[in-house]
């Protein structure tokens, strides 16, 4: 089997604030294979976005800094042999990779395009950063990209300004910008959160199509399990800066192991069932760094017991490719419950 | 864009009418008989009568105003009471001197102010930021005349690097056709004179440009800080653009509108209010022309000077307004 195109190992991204060091991403590991869609799921503030910005090398520093771990990138056109650690590469090299081999689209399409430049220019700009393109060629690339992402009247839109487009159209343009250099990995940070539901479906459909046709690996950051079910092959569930469960999408959605994942899935409203109240996980996400000892989910966990407050649970391999960070599945606990 | 420009030009008409009304009234706001006041207590009745005749003070107001506006439209600004010369030709060398100095001061203020502001915002809370903003604060609060005198003392008196007074070497006067010395000397092929004229611009230019520079630096910084936080800046970075492109092409272009407003207003102020600088550096500009006219009670010159300064102010603000919509496609009126 080919090595993954992107492999994140024990990534630690900390923020140094007036109130001390905050571990926003704490020993996070995952991998994405070429052509795969990986979902990264979790509530607001769980470190999903910081993880993705770390991969892009766009952590605002100060105050943020990657203090440990590695991000291994293996371009597949080199048969996945050559690998580079993005934490270690020079700023210049990172700039060559960014936007070219690893691209990103953001949550807010309304504000993510520069209001003063034409759509076409903003698409070509990214291409121009990475290879020499004439003006005429660039324009053609921009038009082709706009057509690829399903924008009607591409020849006209290319000369229009962002304020003339709707949110859904702008997100398509963002995807066009990201896909213009034919990247190996596309990071999508909640690409549909700010859009209304019908447009959401179209954008997801488009991304799925690009994934299938171009083989682009997608890292889909979302808090929406519907999006996960629709799009993803594998899922990483994050909570308060840590990975609490990961596995393939069927396993995670059908038989989640971690109480947090179970809670997330229970919180989804069910078709055809009339519930007086929707289920919600009690409490809030703790501030990263506020819990020194014990499981970070302990305070909200329905299955909590003493050990959860004293020790940090490790990620336990349940079966091939499915892991969960919970003492319920620790072999020691299993022995205890058998007795 | 063209339609908007034409519309803006038409909107100038009421402004210009208002301005002409005000300058026209100046002479009538003199308490008592203007001719008497201009000529002083000892004037003979004949002299007063002839001056009244010359100024047209015997006509009804609206006829006077009509004549005044008709004159302006034909480029006739009246005659100076002191020199008996046509003001419209007399004013040109002064106007050119002021414009030359203003442009120099403005280039200095914009280049230094904008870049200091951008770097301060980009490296917020760094040593550079603190230093630049302290200098800017000192610059805003600095009395110009004091700065000018200190410059003369250090760079002209002590070091002898730069001339302290005037526009050119008085023993080697510039032969002038356009009244802009930097242009005239090139036309005449006298590059040594060009260099001398340029050196004469430096001290008054810096003195004049310091306050605008400080204001521009502070405005650029705060506007850039706002822009650097925007989502689209991250998008540009995510494309792998160079820092320079991110900061200047996307950052500054988005931050430029408030800066442009300040530059426009400051330019107007510089054109009209450079009196202190012009006095200290013996710069024969329009500020001093009007100031001397005030001392001589040369009312037609005062009227014309104010009219010319006000017109330039209005035109500069028009240019700034047009630039807004050129830079930002969302601004359509």
Q: Mark whether B173 and B286 lie in a shared domain.
A: yes
Is there a contact between A114 and B330 if contact means CB atoms under 8 Å apart? no
Residues of chain A found within 8 Å of residue B230, distances taken between Cβ atoms: 111
Q: Is A296 exposed, middle or buried (0-12, 13-18, 19+ CB in 10 A)?
A: buried
More confidently predicted of B34 and B121: B121
Does some domain include residue B13? yes
Contact status, residue B283 vs residue B101, Cβ threshold 8 Å: yes
User: Which among B235, B242, B328 has CB closest to A112?
Assistant: B235
**pLDDT for B267-304, tens place per residue?**
988 887 678 888 888 888 898 898 888 888 788 898 88
pLDDT value at residue A18: 83
Distance from the Cα of A115 to chain B's closest Cα (Å) equals: 8
Give the separation between CA A120 and CA A140, rounded to whole angstroms: 9
Mean pLDDT of A252-266: 87
Residues of chain B found within 8 Å of residue A58, distances taken between Cβ atoms: 234, 237-238
With CA atoms as reference, the chain B residue closest to A111 would be: B231
Residue B32 has pLDDT above 80, yes or no: no
Q: What DSSP string describes A46-107?
A: SSHHHHHHHHHT---TTTEEEEEEEEEE--GGGTT---EETTTS-HHHHHHHBTTTEEEE-S
Q: Mark whether B103 and B235 lie in a shared domain.
A: yes
Q: Mark whether B46 and B130 lie in a shared domain.
A: no
With CA atoms as reference, the chain A residue closest to B124 would be: A62
Residue A322 to residues A8, A219, A304: CA-CA distances in angstroms? 17, 18, 22
**pLDDT for A116-161, tens place per residue?**
999 999 999 989 988 888 889 999 999 998 988 888 898 999 999 9
More confidently predicted of A143 and B1: A143
Last residue of a domain, one of B47, B73, B99: B73
Domain count, chain B: 2
Chain CA centroid to CA A107, Å: 11
Q: What DSSP string describes A274-285?
A: --SS----SS-P
Last residue of a domain, one of B73, B95, B110: B73
Give the separation between CA B14 and CA B277, rounded to whole angstroms: 33
pLDDT value at residue A334: 54
Is there a contact between A130 and B328 if contact means CB atoms under 8 Å apart? no
The domain containing residue B178 runs over which residues?
A: 87-327
**Measuring CA to CA, which residue among A229, A92, A212 is closest to residue A220?**
A229
Is there a contact between A58 and B238 if contact means CB atoms under 8 Å apart? yes
Give the separation between CA B21 and CA B23, rounded to whole angstroms: 6
Q: Mark whether B18 and B147 lie in a shared domain.
A: no
**pLDDT for B38-82, tens place per residue?**
777 788 888 888 888 877 778 888 888 888 889 888 888 888 878
Residue A336 has pLDDT above 70, yes or no: no
Is there a contact between B236 and A125 if contact means CB atoms under 8 Å apart? yes
**How confident is residue A305, by pLDDT bands cut at 50, 70 and 90?**
confident
Taking the model in full, what pTM does it have? 0.84
Last residue of a domain, one of B50, B73, B96: B73
Is there a contact between A115 and B240 if contact means CB atoms under 8 Å apart? no
**How confident is residue A332, by pLDDT bands cut at 50, 70 and 90?**
low
Q: Mark whether B182 and B265 lie in a shared domain.
A: yes
Does some domain include residue B80? no
Give the separation between CA A305 and CA B2, rounded to whole angstroms: 75
With CA atoms as reference, the chain B residue closest to A114 would be: B232
Residues of chain B found within 8 Å of residue A97, distances taken between Cβ atoms: 240
Contact status, residue A114 vs residue B236, Cβ threshold 8 Å: yes
Is there a contact between A115 and B236 if contact means CB atoms under 8 Å apart? no
Does some domain include residue B79? no
Residue from A125, A162, A177 to probe the interface with B (highest B Cβ count within 10 Å)? A125
Mean pLDDT of A220-232: 88
**Percent above pLDDT 70 for chain A:** 94
Does some domain include residue B78? no
| Sheet strands (E) in A152-233 | 185-189, 217-222
Is there a contact between B329 and A115 if contact means CB atoms under 8 Å apart? yes
- Partners of residue A38 on adjacent β-strands: A219, A234
User: Which among B231, B239, B327 has CB closest to A108?
Assistant: B231
Give the separation between CA A260 and CA A324, rounded to whole angstroms: 10
Is there a contact between B327 and A116 if contact means CB atoms under 8 Å apart? yes
Distance from the Cα of B114 to chain A's closest Cα (Å) equals: 19
Mean pLDDT of A9-22: 86
Examine the predicted complex and report whether its ipTM is higher than 0.85: no
With CA atoms as reference, the chain A residue closest to B235 would be: A112
Domain A6-232: CATH superfamily, name plus number: P-loop containing nucleotide triphosphate hydrolases (3.40.50.300)
Among A31-35, A322-326, B29-33, B231-235, where is mean pLDDT lowest? Answer: B29-33
Q: Mark whether B151 and B212 lie in a shared domain.
A: yes
Does some domain include residue B224? yes
User: Which among B238, B250, B328 has CB closest to A56?
Assistant: B238
Does some domain include residue B108? yes
Q: Is B18 exposed, middle or buried (0-12, 13-18, 19+ CB in 10 A)?
A: exposed
Which position has the token pair 């526009």? B167
Dihedral sign (CA A192, A193, A196, A198):
positive
Mean pLDDT of A227-240: 89
Q: What number of C-beta contacts closer than 8 Å exist between A and B?
A: 72
Is there a contact between B232 and A174 if contact means CB atoms under 8 Å apart? no
Q: Mark whether B138 and B254 lie in a shared domain.
A: yes
Residue B160 has pLDDT above 90, yes or no: no
pLDDT value at residue B31: 73
pLDDT value at residue A338: 44
Give the separation between CA A109 and CA A177, rounded to whole angstroms: 12
Does some domain include residue B333? no
**How confident is residue A314, by pLDDT bands cut at 50, 70 and 90?**
confident
Cβ-proximal residues to B195 (8 Å cutoff; 6+ apart), any chain: none
**CATH number for position B234:** 1.10.3720.10
Backbone φ/ψ region at A283: left (φ over 0), alpha (ψ -120 to 50), beta:
left
Is there a contact between B240 and A126 if contact means CB atoms under 8 Å apart? yes
């Amino acid at each position: 089997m080919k090595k993954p195109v992107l492999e994140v190992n024990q990534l630690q991204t900390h923020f140094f604030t007036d109130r001390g060091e905050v571990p926003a991403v704490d020993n996070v590991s995952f991998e994405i294979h070429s052509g795969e869609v990986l979902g990264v799921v979790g509530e607001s503030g769980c470190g999903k976005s910081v993880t993705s910005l770390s991969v892009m090398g766009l952590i605002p520093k100060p105050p943020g800094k990657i203090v440990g771990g590695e991000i291994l990138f293996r371009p597949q056109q080199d048969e996945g042999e050559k690998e580079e650690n993005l934490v270690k590469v020079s700023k210049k090299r990172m700039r060559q990779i960014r936007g070219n081999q690893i691209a990103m689209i953001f949550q807010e399409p309304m504000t993510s395009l520069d209001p003063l430049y034409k759509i076409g220019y903003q698409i070509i700009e990214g291409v121009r950063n990475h290879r020499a393109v004439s003006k005429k060629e660039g324009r053609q690339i921009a038009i082709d990209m706009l057509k690829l992402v399903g924008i009607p009247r591409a020849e006209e839109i290319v000369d229009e300004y962002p304020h003339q487009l709707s949110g859904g159209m702008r997100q398509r343009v963002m995807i066009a910008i990201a896909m213009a250099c034919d990247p190996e990995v596309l990071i999508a940070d909640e690409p549909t959160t700010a859009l209304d539901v019908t447009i959401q479906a179209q954008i997801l459909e488009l991304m799925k199509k690009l994934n299938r046709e171009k083989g682009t690996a997608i890292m889909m950051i979302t808090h929406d399990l519907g999006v996960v079910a629709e799009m993803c092959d594998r899922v990483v569930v994050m909570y308060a800066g840590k990975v609490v469960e990961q596995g393939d999408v069927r396993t995670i959605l059908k038989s989640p192991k971690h109480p947090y994942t179970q809670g997330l899935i229970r919180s989804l409203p069910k078709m055809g069932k009339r519930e007086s109240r929707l289920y919600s996980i009690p409490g809030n996400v703790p501030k990263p760094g506020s819990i020194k000892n014990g499981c970070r989910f302990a305070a909200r966990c329905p299955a909590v017991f003493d050990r959860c407050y004293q020790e940090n649970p490790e990620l336990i391999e349940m079966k091939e490719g499915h892991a969960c960070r919970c003492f319920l599945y620790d072999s020691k606990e299993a022995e205890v419950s058998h007795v | 864009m063209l339609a908007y420009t034409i519309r803006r030009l038409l909107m100038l008409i009421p402004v210009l009418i208002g301005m002409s009304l005000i300058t026209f009234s100046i002479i009538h706001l003199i308490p008592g008989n203007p001719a008497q006041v201009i000529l002083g207590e000892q004037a003979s009745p004949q002299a007063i009568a002839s001056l009244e005749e010359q100024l047209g003070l015997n006509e009804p107001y609206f006829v006077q105003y009509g004549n005044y506006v008709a004159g302006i439209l034909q480029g006739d600004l009246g005659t100076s009471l002191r020199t008996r010369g046509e003001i419209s030709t007399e004013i040109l060398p002064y106007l050119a001197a002021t414009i030359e100095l203003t442009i120099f001061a403005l280039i200095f203020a914009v280049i230094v102010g904008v870049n200091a502001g951008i770097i301060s915002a980009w490296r917020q809370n760094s040593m550079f930021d603190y230093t630049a903003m302290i200098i800017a604060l000192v610059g805003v609060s600095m009395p110009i005349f004091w700065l000018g005198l200190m410059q003369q003392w250090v760079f002209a008196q002590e070091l002898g690097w730069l001339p302290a007074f005037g526009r050119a070497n008085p023993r080697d006067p510039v032969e002038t056709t356009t009244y802009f010395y930097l242009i005239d000397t090139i036309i005449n092929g006298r590059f040594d004179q060009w260099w001398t004229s340029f050196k004469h611009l430096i001290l008054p230019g810096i003195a004049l440009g310091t306050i605008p520079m400080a204001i521009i630096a502070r405005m650029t910084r705060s506007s850039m800080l706002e822009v650097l936080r925007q989502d689209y800046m991250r998008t540009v970075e995510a494309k792998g653009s160079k820092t320079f492109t991110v900061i200047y092409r996307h950052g500054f272009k988005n931050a430029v509108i408030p800066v442009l407003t300040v530059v426009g207003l400051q330019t107007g102020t510089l054109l009209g209010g450079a009196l202190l600088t012009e006095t200290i550096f013996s710069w024969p500009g329009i500020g001093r022309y009007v100031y001397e006219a005030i001392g001589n009670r040369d009312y037609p010159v005062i009227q014309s000077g104010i009219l010319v300064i006000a017109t330039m102010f209005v035109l500069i603000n028009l240019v700034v307004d047009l630039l807004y919509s050129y830079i930002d496609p969302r601004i359509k009126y």
